Structure 1
């Protein structure tokens, strides 16, 4: 189901990012059989913004190029199809140059960037794709032999940095989830932030409108939901839409219910009881917890009643450490030193601290209580 909405999203997304740097044409027809290049880009001589703002994507857009983004890892046949588009477009450009009686060097011909959420070793070996030895492209960017002018980008292998953010948004699962979290943390005045949030929100709407959602669709909706709700909230605060606020809470509840069904098969009475407290969290935190915590852990941290404290048993420290890893990515020494203090707190005091405070706020709170 997600293939067509993803194609539409990826083209709109890349067009939004690249248009300040040059001419962008989506779904460009190429000769021979009717084929369409997903995104054809030609850099402007005087772009309206610095390409470095787009990091690695801006570096790719330094020359004329094709972008072929895939939602799922491409097959061998799909890679061949991308190469055929490149060769067809290359032949068209060479014919045009001959008609205009001018020469075209190899370096002037377009590059092909195949953007994939992942690349198997078999695929890389089969196309002799290797990391660049000449330029600093970093991990995850595999170049085919020189004269093919093509690279496979394994998005899940890209370093996690601001430089790769705009490409990682096109990834899947945790890669995309983390990139969207980073996008939401950008200042409101950051270039592209507002428009990209709207594009991500529209992608979620398109996927969610299907009558038959697969598990992959529901997972995608969960990934996109923080961006969607942030866009809705900002739209309300800016007065750009009316009547939005009333539906946000109900939509968030539906999102949580759908994800619980995907993970656990059904929503029984125990899970039903913890939905309301989960909705008090921000979409970013909630999404991460729903992806990472087991059913037992969700009931432990969001459940209420006299039996909650007993559920910790002897593994309370392990459960606290796991939640800290989910919230903050790792348990560094400073956090580890405070776990003993956390374990002294009763469940009803510890839970809101771990679920709602930032790392800095949590450490400050614990320092204050034990000063």
Structure 2
């Protein structure tokens, strides 16, 4: 069971969305006392992704950046920790420039984006973080120019399509509304499917937590019908693919083979639904899974992690 499911979701979610427009390292260790940057991003213009499709998140990713998402309201100590990571990265860049005898400017340093559902006015005042309403939407508070840092207060962002991808990382009603908007996107939107798959992982992780808090219980209620429908679609798609192949192969023998192929395609679709792709490691466990009935199979695929499935059926 994942100890911090929301933290894992936030990192995987940002990594998945940003990988279409740049290089992502999540996490990335920095020198000094061992610290890990949650998401390190470097834009790669040669990639096919369009930053504009990610709205405000894409705008935050126009330069190299450190993303530090928080499930709970960020504290002053946590902001200090983020700033230390940024300063250590700046030190690495300075040392490399010195070794290579190259000059650097302030634009060579990454920006730090601290993502938090809410932030008290005292904290914002304490760090002299202020709005830039002329150039940015509400909810984004910038430190002094040389800090290259801003706090993104997710629950203060305007409810517009541009902010949806960030509001997914909010809490309660804000997150639920963003999920509604995500679900309403065209079904051929690749980012929509990727985000829904990661929400599926989040649902599985919080469902097995014995100490589910009321807010997570509401999130489970919000996500369960959505994924029950998607699971049914994946299952039916597998059945149809299997039976079609059976009909093509002939009647009696073909029907038997078709039923077996039906189960195989169903398992494949469920694995893709659960983990986003079917790689060589997951293909190995298909045969052992064929011996299970559908009622036995469903809970396993929804509740066990990838590693647990491989350990149990990969031998």
| Distance in 2, Cα, partners of 1:10 & 1:229 | 23
Secondary structure of the corresponding residue to residue 10 of structure 1? helix
Counterparts of residues 29-40 of structure 1 (less than 5 Å): 29-40=29-40
Residue in 1 that maps onto 2:107: 107
| Distance in 1, Cα, partners of 2:133 & 2:187 | 38
Q: CA distance change for structure 1 residues 2 and 125 in 2, over 3 Å: closer, same or farther?
A: farther
The alignment's TM-score, normalised by the length of structure 2, stands at 0.73
Which fold has the larger relative contact order, with Cα–Cα distance below 8 Å and residues 6 or more apart in sequence? 2
Alpha-carbon distance, 1:74 to partner: 0.8
**CA offsets 1:214-239 (integer angstroms, 9 cap, x no match):** 22332332343354334324423432
Q: Contact conserved, 1:129 with 1:143, CA < 8 A, in 2?
A: yes
Q: Contact conserved, 2:38 with 2:69, CA < 8 A, in 1?
A: yes
Q: CA distance change for structure 1 residues 2 and 132 in 2, over 3 Å: closer, same or farther?
A: farther
| Distance in 2, Cα, partners of 1:101 & 1:183 | 48
Secondary structure of the corresponding residue to residue 19 of structure 2? helix
Secondary structure of the corresponding residue to residue 33 of structure 1? coil
Q: CA distance change for structure 1 residues 194 and 234 in 2, over 3 Å: closer, same or farther?
A: farther
Residue in 1 that maps onto 2:255: none
Residue in 1 that maps onto 2:12: 12
Residue in 1 that maps onto 2:182: 183
Counterparts of residues 46-125 of structure 1 (less than 5 Å): 46-125=46-125
Residue in 2 that maps onto 1:150: 149
Secondary structure of the corresponding residue to residue 152 of structure 2? strand
Alpha-carbon distance, 1:108 to partner: 1.8
Secondary structure of the corresponding residue to residue 29 of structure 2? strand
Question: What RMSD in Å do the two structures reach over aligned CA positions?
Answer: 2.3
Alpha-carbon distance, 1:149 to partner: 0.7
Secondary structure of the corresponding residue to residue 158 of structure 2? coil
Secondary structure of the corresponding residue to residue 42 of structure 2? strand
Residue in 2 that maps onto 1:206: 205
Secondary structure of the corresponding residue to residue 36 of structure 1? strand
| Distance in 2, Cα, partners of 1:143 & 1:76 | 15
Residue in 2 that maps onto 1:161: 160
Task: Please list every run of 5 or more consecutive structure 1 residues that lacks an aligned counterpart in the other structure.
Answer: 252-371
| Distance in 2, Cα, partners of 1:10 & 1:118 | 16
| Distance in 1, Cα, partners of 2:183 & 2:27 | 29
| Distance in 2, Cα, partners of 1:181 & 1:115 | 21
Secondary structure of the corresponding residue to residue 189 of structure 1? coil
Q: CA distance change for structure 1 residues 189 and 129 in 2, over 3 Å: closer, same or farther?
A: same
| Distance in 1, Cα, partners of 2:33 & 2:165 | 32
| Distance in 1, Cα, partners of 2:209 & 2:11 | 20
Q: CA distance change for structure 1 residues 106 and 46 in 2, over 3 Å: closer, same or farther?
A: same
The alignment's TM-score, normalised by the length of structure 1, stands at 0.63
Q: CA distance change for structure 1 residues 156 and 233 in 2, over 3 Å: closer, same or farther?
A: farther
**Matched pairs, number:** 248
Q: Contact conserved, 2:207 with 2:220, CA < 8 A, in 1?
A: yes
| Distance in 1, Cα, partners of 2:294 & 2:7 | 30
Residue in 2 that maps onto 1:24: 24
**CA offsets 1:14-60 (integer angstroms, 9 cap, x no match):** 11100011100001001000000000000013221111000000000
Residue in 1 that maps onto 2:279: none
Q: Contact conserved, 2:176 with 2:219, CA < 8 A, in 1?
A: no
Q: Contact conserved, 1:38 with 1:66, CA < 8 A, in 2?
A: yes
Alpha-carbon distance, 1:113 to partner: 0.3
Secondary structure of the corresponding residue to residue 199 of structure 2? helix
| Distance in 2, Cα, partners of 1:19 & 1:230 | 28
Task: Please list every run of 5 or more consecutive structure 2 residues that lacks an aligned counterpart in the other structure.
Answer: 239-268, 271-292, 303-315
| Distance in 2, Cα, partners of 1:226 & 1:116 | 27
- Bigger radius of gyration, 1 or 2? 1
| Distance in 2, Cα, partners of 1:134 & 1:102 | 35
Q: CA distance change for structure 1 residues 142 and 87 in 2, over 3 Å: closer, same or farther?
A: same
Secondary structure of the corresponding residue to residue 8 of structure 2? helix
Secondary structure of the corresponding residue to residue 128 of structure 2? coil
| Distance in 1, Cα, partners of 2:167 & 2:84 | 26
